[in-house]
């Protein structure tokens, strides 16, 4: 995979400006014709996590999708948009319609003739070279496409610290099957390996990251805060793209579980200098005050614990991590959290969600997918004390020094 990332400024979602910036970014990589040939059916795998408006920065913006559709068409490709939303949204025509409508894609389809996927069939495929997943269920439209282009959103993430190119492909796993994967792979290291297996299996030709309006704080759902970033980032290499994007928002790439595991697989040598950035110089676009998640599981120092800390971690993690607490004034008892919980740790009691803390594995799917932002994450006094002492690591933001040269 080519470790080259193009980064181009794009101040807003005006379609003409987005298309101009995207074309410029693609030209730095050889142009759209390098990735799409005439007659090919092209799956545009967007981030459609949940029914949320474009202004909330939860999902890929319609203008980025429309601009990419236009460029793919000009190259002779036949684009369509597909995704399986988060586990709280059923992978059915009704579930897809609800997400398409709220994210602005239904209007885009009606206005510009953009094809949306309605095929909800799933195929189980064998992937013997997978490190964590030898078999996996994948939505059929992705498998049927000649080319896959992923369109991640630049966001923070409570479970993995950051979500971008290496995590967006979790959306090719259908609906509630994601919930089962979370339950089976509750350990963050295993979860990261699973994500990389999906990347290796699906093999997208290109990643186009929507960083015009990103998300900071307690992402990736409605608890996160939209933040103007003003960038489009493009690469054929998911790992290289995430390394550069995380630098832009001040997160140390070495602290992101997927990138740590990518390094052990030889997909990245761990050096920032090994990735070539074309377009905007990286030192000109760093956002030093971008807010990280208040505490992700990755901030327990994955890969950096002593042997003794690793022995103790399973016993103390339930006490030291943030607990999901439903808020009665916001909860509508819709059941999204119940459906999305991999451990079946949540039930509806007297029209309020209730979490069984003994079963909770701290994946934060309920917090991520709640359509009312009714799940708050709260820490015990012991957790606050230990985090201040740094016994299990802490959320870390880094300022990349300007003037670094790229290879």
- DSSP per-residue codes, 73-93: HHTT-EEEEE----TTS-SSH
Do residue 158 and residue 32 come from a single domain?
yes
Residue 324, pLDDT score: 93
Residue 363, domain CATH: 3.30.70.20
Do residue 145 and residue 55 come from a single domain?
yes
Do residue 270 and residue 348 come from a single domain?
no
Q: What's the pLDDT band for 186 if we cut at 50, 70, 90?
A: confident
Residue range 55-79: average pLDDT? Answer: 99
Inform me whether the pLDDT recorded for 381 exceeds 90.
no
Q: What's the pLDDT band for 386 if we cut at 50, 70, 90?
A: low
Residue 2, pLDDT score: 56
Residue 194 included in any domain: yes
Q: Which residues contact 57 (CB under 8 A, 6 or more apart)?
A: 153, 155, 213, 214, 215, 224, 226, 227
Do residue 153 and residue 94 come from a single domain?
yes
Q: Which segment of 246-255, 345-354, 362-371, 376-385 scores lowest on mean pLDDT? A: 376-385
Residue range 147-156: average pLDDT? Answer: 99
**What is the CB neighbour count within 10 angstroms for residue 301?**
18
Do residue 280 and residue 303 come from a single domain?
no
Residue 383, pLDDT score: 58
Percentage of residues of the chain with pLDDT beyond 70: 86
- Name the residue among 175, 168, 199 with its Cα closest to residue 122: 175
Residue 387, pLDDT score: 53
Q: What's the pLDDT band for 405 if we cut at 50, 70, 90?
A: very low
φ/ψ of residue 64, rounded to 5: -70, -40
d(CA 101, CA 94): 11
Residue range 340-367: average pLDDT? Answer: 93
Q: Which residue has the tokens 């819709």?
A: 334
d(CA 232, CA 214): 11
Inform me whether the pLDDT recorded for 370 exceeds 60.
yes
Residue range 152-181: average pLDDT? Answer: 95
Residue 256 included in any domain: yes
Residue range 225-234: average pLDDT? Answer: 99
Do residue 271 and residue 303 come from a single domain?
no
Enclosing domain of residue 125 = 4-284
Percentage of residues of the chain with pLDDT beyond 90: 77
Helix (H), strand (E) at residue 317: helix 307-320
Instruction: For 112-222, list the strands marked E by DSSP.
Output: 122-126, 135-139, 147-151, 153-157, 161-163, 206-217
Residue 379, pLDDT score: 76
Residue 395 included in any domain: no
Residue range 329-342: average pLDDT? Answer: 95
Inform me whether the pLDDT recorded for 312 exceeds 70.
no
Residue 290, pLDDT score: 98
Residue 403 included in any domain: no
Do residue 258 and residue 306 come from a single domain?
no
Residue 382, pLDDT score: 61
Residue 290 included in any domain: no
Q: What is the mean pLDDT of the chain?
A: 89
pLDDT for 238-256, tens place per residue?
999 999 999 999 999 998 9
Residue 254 included in any domain: yes
Inform me whether the pLDDT recorded for 307 exceeds 70.
no
Contact 169, 206 (CB under 8 A): no
Q: Which of 284, 307, 327 is the last residue of a domain?
A: 284
Residue 277, domain CATH: 3.40.50
For residue 107, what are its two tokens?
């209007």
Residue range 216-231: average pLDDT? Answer: 97
For residue 209, what are its two tokens?
């990251």
Helix (H, G, I), strand (E, B) or coil at 21: helix
Q: How many CA atoms lie within 13 A of 311 on its CB side?
A: 3
Q: Which of 252, 284, 316 is the last residue of a domain?
A: 284
Higher pLDDT, 358 or 279: 279
pLDDT for 231-242, tens place per residue?
999 999 999 999
Residue range 162-189: average pLDDT? Answer: 92
Higher pLDDT, 90 or 226: 226
Q: Which residues contact 269 (CB under 8 A, 6 or more apart)?
A: 263
pLDDT for 81-121, tens place per residue?
999 999 788 999 999 999 999 999 999 999 999 999 999 99
Q: How many structural domains does the chain have?
A: 2
Inform me whether the pLDDT recorded for 347 exceeds 80.
yes
Helix (H), strand (E) at residue 59: none
d(CA 284, CA 12): 18
Residue 366, pLDDT score: 93
Helix (H), strand (E) at residue 100: helix 93-103
Inform me whether the pLDDT recorded for 299 exceeds 60.
no
Residue range 362-385: average pLDDT? Answer: 83
Residue 259 included in any domain: yes
Do residue 280 and residue 360 come from a single domain?
no
d(CA 65, CA 16): 13
Residue 217, pLDDT score: 96
Q: Which of 284, 308, 335 is the last residue of a domain?
A: 284
Do residue 323 and residue 221 come from a single domain?
no
Residue range 60-81: average pLDDT? Answer: 99
**Omega of the bond leading into 220 within 30 degrees of 0 (cis):** yes
For residue 357, what are its two tokens?
């803390």
Do residue 245 and residue 108 come from a single domain?
yes
Inform me whether the pLDDT recorded for 293 exceeds 80.
yes
Contact 36, 76 (CB under 8 A): yes
- Residue-wise burial string across 184-222, b where 16 or more C-beta atoms lie within 10 A, e elsewhere: ebeebebbbbbbbbbbbbbebbbbbbbbbbbbbbbbbbb
Do residue 203 and residue 247 come from a single domain?
yes
Higher pLDDT, 289 or 402: 289
Residue 168 included in any domain: yes
Do residue 25 and residue 133 come from a single domain?
yes
Residue 399, pLDDT score: 38
Contact 215, 227 (CB under 8 A): yes
């Amino acid at each position: 995979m080519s470790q080259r990332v193009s980064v181009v400024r794009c101040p807003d979602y005006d379609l003409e400006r987005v298309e101009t910036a995207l074309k410029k970014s693609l030209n730095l990589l050889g142009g759209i014709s390098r990735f799409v040939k005439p007659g090919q059916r092209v799956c545009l795998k967007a981030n459609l996590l949940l029914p949320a408006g474009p202004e909330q920065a939860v999902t890929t913006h319609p203008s980025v999708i429309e601009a990419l559709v236009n460029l793919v068409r000009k190259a002779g490709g036949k684009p369509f948009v597909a995704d399986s939303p988060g586990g709280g949204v059923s992978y059915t025509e009704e579930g897809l319609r609800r997400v398409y409508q709220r994210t602005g894609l239904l209007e885009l389809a009606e206005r510009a003739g953009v094809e949306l996927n309605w095929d909800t069939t799933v195929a189980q495929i064998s992937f013997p070279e997978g490190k964590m997943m030898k078999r996996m269920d994948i939505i059929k439209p992705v498998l049927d496409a000649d080319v896959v282009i992923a369109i991640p959103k630049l966001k923070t993430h409570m479970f993995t610290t950051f979500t971008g190119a290496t995590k967006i492909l979790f959306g090719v796993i259908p609906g509630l099957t994601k919930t089962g994967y979370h339950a089976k792979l509750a350990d963050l290291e295993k979860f990261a390996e699973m994500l990389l297996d999906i990347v290796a299996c699906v093999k997208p030709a290109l990643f186009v990251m929507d960083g015009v309006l990103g998300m900071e704080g307690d992402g990736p759902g409605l608890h996160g805060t939209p933040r103007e970033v003003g960038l489009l980032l493009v690469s054929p290499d998911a790992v290289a793209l995430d390394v550069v994007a995380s630098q832009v928002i001040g997160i140390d790439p070495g602290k992101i579980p997927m990138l740590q595991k990518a390094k052990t697989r030889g997909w990245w040598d761990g050096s920032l200098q090994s990735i070539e950035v074309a377009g905007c110089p990286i030192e000109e676009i760093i956002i030093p005050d971008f807010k990280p998640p208040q505490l992700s599981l990755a901030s327990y120092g994955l890969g950096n614990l002593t042997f003794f800390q690793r022995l103790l971690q399973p016993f103390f993690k339930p006490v030291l991590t943030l607990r999901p607490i439903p808020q009665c004034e916001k909860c509508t008892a819709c059941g999204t959290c119940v459906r999305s919980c991999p451990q079946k740790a949540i039930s509806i009691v007297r029209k309020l969600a209730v979490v069984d803390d003994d079963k909770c594995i701290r994946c934060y799917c309920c917090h991520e997918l709640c359509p009312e932002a009714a799940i708050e994450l709260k820490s015990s006094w012991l957790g606050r004390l230990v985090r201040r002492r740094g016994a299990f690591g802490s959320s870390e933001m880094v300022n990349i020094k300007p003037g670094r040269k790229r290879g």
